Amino acid sequence: MQQRIPLAAIAPGETVRVAEICVEGALRRRLFDLGLIPQTLISCRFAAPAGSPMAFTVRGAVLALRTRDAQEIFVERVS
């Protein structure tokens, strides 16, 4: 089993696989609707100079997330 890290900790250009989504409520439902589900590959496109928001590519779409929300999504590095 690989080590899980928060999505907010990955660097621009890095691709990882979603392991667990720990957000609740409407945001969780919205992420699932956008295709961000466990086992999905996700790439970091960039982070704002202040660190938030961060932009990710998920299934060909660009998704912006607040850093505090990205801290609640855990991923595994792709080898």
The string of pLDDT tens digits covering residues 4-16 is 999 999 999 999 9
Confidence band, pLDDT 50/70/90 cuts, at residue 2 = confident
CA distances from 11 to 2, 30, 43 (A): 18, 24, 9
Please give the backbone phi and psi of residue 7, each rounded to the nearest 5 degrees, phi first: -55, -35
What does the alpha-carbon distance between residue 5 and residue 16 come to, in Å, rounded to a whole number?
A: 10
CATH of 4-77, one of 1.10.274.10, 3.40.50.2000, 2.30.40.10, 2.30.30.90: 2.30.30.90
- Residues 31-41 have a mean pLDDT of 94
Rounded to the nearest integer, the mean pLDDT of the chain is 93
The predicted pLDDT at position 1 comes to: 60
- pLDDT for position 23: 93
Q: Which residue has the higher pLDDT, 23 or 2?
A: 23
Sheet of strand 73-77, all strands in order from the earlier edge strand to the far edge = 4-6, 73-77, 15-21, 41-47, 54-58, 61-65
Residues making up the chain, counted from first to last = 79
Q: What is the mean pLDDT of the segment spanning 44-68?
A: 91
